[in-house]
Structure 1
Amino acid sequence: MFATPIRLARGQPSFLRRSLDEFRRQAGIAIRMEGLHQPQKPFPLMKFDAPESPERCKIMSDQTNFGGYSRAALTYVPGAAHIDGEGGQGRIGGGESAGEEPAHALFKGSISTELPPNRSEIQRSGFAAWRTRDRGWSAFGKLLWDIDPYSYLALRVKSDGRKYFVNIQTESIVPTDLHQHLLPCYTPGQWETVTIPFSAFVRTSYGVVVEPQKEMLQQKVKSVGIGLTDRVPGRFELRIADVYATNRAPEKGVVGREDSGFDLDMDDEEEKQGTGMMDEVEPPRKKGEPERILI
């Protein structure tokens, strides 16, 4: 089997390369007997360390989803090399000690809450997001991330202070399920590594908190990404260097579900309005209309 030009153009490795990488990963786990102890090294999910890195991500916004006016782009910015384990185990660094920026991706654009014309079914607009593309298949089956041995998700970012959400999608029975948490940035305008416990993520569907709040299926993670849902018109800019799983505890206070950006005690009427990303693109279901299932 050969990779198609389209897949190669998007920065995805070939089927043979994916199979070899997966074999190397599984063999390394067996040789190091990682199942017998807690991993100390970080587990990269997305590293923006090469010009083709943004091609492994999918961009979403009003404009791309239903003809709205919010725009978004993800572009590569060259910089210092990424170094696994810099500043201690369980962390990815690079660039801080030299006083230069690390190689990263710039997520930028503008938010507009103006509704598209001739689309009466669209009730709300004003979102932008990116997520990693599906990793495809290998000789070992569908490629998913197994981050079950890790306790935290870490992101090395430089924020503009707006309200971004971190989104994790797993191989769930319900394809619209997302696990979301507010991106807790403490020093806007400066590079920082923020850490979120996987246990603090909130299960949502179309941006609405759903019950029961089951634990995330960390053995089968499909994608990770970031969305902007504050619906405040104007420009935005977020720089991302790395997204990785780790067992290194956060240096600042540990965030929990109460810091997720969702009001878990809201009443039924408030819950119907939604608070996350996906409710911006899915109109309320009319009486008698069958439930929509995304594939």
Structure 2
Amino acid sequence: MSDADMGGFTKANLDWNPPDVSSSSKSTNNSRGYARFHGNISIDLPANKPQIQRTGYAAWRTRDRPPTIFGKSLWDIDPYTYLAMRIKSDGRKYFVNLQTESIVPSDIHQHRVYARKPGEWETVLIKWNDFVRTNHGTVMEPQTELMRQKVRTIGIGLIDRVPGKFDISVESIWATNNATMDDSIEDGGLEEGQLKSKHGANIRWNGSKPL
């Protein structure tokens, strides 16, 4: 989804690149297949829709899991400490978005994705406890703990409103307790982001936690 859904001009695509199993291929970059999220961010406003005052975003998320005979099918990540992602990013300011069975359906738990090796495959770790509850881009107070036994969807969004191309590939996403995987990097940093407090101040991230 993107601002194009309401008349904006951002172009976003989510493509599946299947594994390269050709015997002549010596590349190990695509041995398992991956999803590629790419396109072009535009902050132009539609001239015929004056009610639209803000554009310049794109995102995707997983579909809700099919129900079972016991009801809704949700992910239980309670036994795990980290969210792990195998990604290849262009270095732009992406967010991971989590939806849970929250009392407020529009609540999303978010965290920045800090790519240390733009243009290369890397594994990023994010502590589940470091996700921040937001609603329509605003950090909510008081913060409530992520409902770790009732995760509905996961996805990635780009909301920096910087015009131009974007490109991030995701090979796999999983929950883990292993913080010592090869080339894994625990997410963190000190940087001003796009999330805002209820008073309109930008949220800064310090060591993976917001200030």
TM-score of the two chains, using structure 2 as the length reference = 0.84
Structure 2 residue aligned with 1:268? 199
User: How far did 1:207 drift?
Assistant: 0.6
User: How far did 1:184 drift?
Assistant: 1.4
Change (3 A) 1:170 1:250: farther
How big is each residue's C-alpha offset from its partner over 1:91-147, in whole Å with a ceiling of 9 and x where there is no partner? Answer: xxxxxx963324101111110000112222211100000000111311121111111
1:100 matched to 2:29: yes
How big is each residue's C-alpha offset from its partner over 1:135-169, in whole Å with a ceiling of 9 and x where there is no partner? Answer: 13111211111111111001100001111000001
AA partner of residue 268 (structure 1): H
Q: Distance in 1 between matches of 2:195 and 2:37?
A: 27
Tell whether the 8 Å contact from 1:152 to 1:197 is kept in structure 2 after alignment: yes
Change (3 A) 1:181 1:225: same
Structure 2 residue aligned with 1:184? 114
User: How far did 1:263 drift?
Assistant: 6.8
Q: Distance in 1 between matches of 2:107 and 2:192?
A: 16
Tell whether the 8 Å contact from 1:151 to 1:247 is kept in structure 2 after alignment: yes
Structure 2 residue aligned with 1:149? 79
Q: Distance in 1 between matches of 2:129 and 2:173?
A: 17
Q: Distance in 2 between matches of 1:76 and 1:113?
A: 27
> Percent same amino acid at aligned positions?
50
- SS across alignment from 1:268: coil
Of 140, 161, 183, 1:231 maps to: 161
Structure of greater Rg: 1
Change (3 A) 1:233 1:182: same
Q: Distance in 1 between matches of 2:200 and 2:161?
A: 20
Q: Distance in 2 between matches of 1:123 and 1:132?
A: 28
Q: Distance in 1 between matches of 2:194 and 2:44?
A: 25
Matches within 5 A, 1:1-295: 60-64=1-5, 66-79=6-19, 99-102=28-31, 103-249=33-179, 254-255=186-187, 261=193, 268-270=199-201
Larger displacement relative to structure 2 (252-261 or 119-128): 252-261
AA partner of residue 74 (structure 1): L
- SS across alignment from 1:199: helix
User: How far did 1:63 drift?
Assistant: 0.9
Structure 2 unaligned residues grouped into runs of 5+: 205-211
Q: Distance in 2 between matches of 1:106 and 1:141?
A: 32
Tell whether the 8 Å contact from 2:110 to 2:134 is kept in structure 1 after alignment: yes
AA partner of residue 179 (structure 2): A
Structure 1 residue aligned with 2:208? none
Structure 1 unaligned residues grouped into runs of 5+: 1-59, 82-96, 276-295
Q: Distance in 2 between matches of 1:105 and 1:124?
A: 28
- SS across alignment from 1:172: coil
- SS across alignment from 1:105: strand
Provide the aligned C-alpha RMSD in A.
2.6
Structure 2 residue aligned with 1:40? none
User: How far did 1:209 drift?
Assistant: 0.3
In the comparison of the two structures, how many residue pairs are matched? Answer: 197
Change (3 A) 1:203 1:262: farther
Q: Distance in 2 between matches of 1:108 and 1:185?
A: 16
Q: Which has the higher helix share?
A: 1
Change (3 A) 1:205 1:267: closer
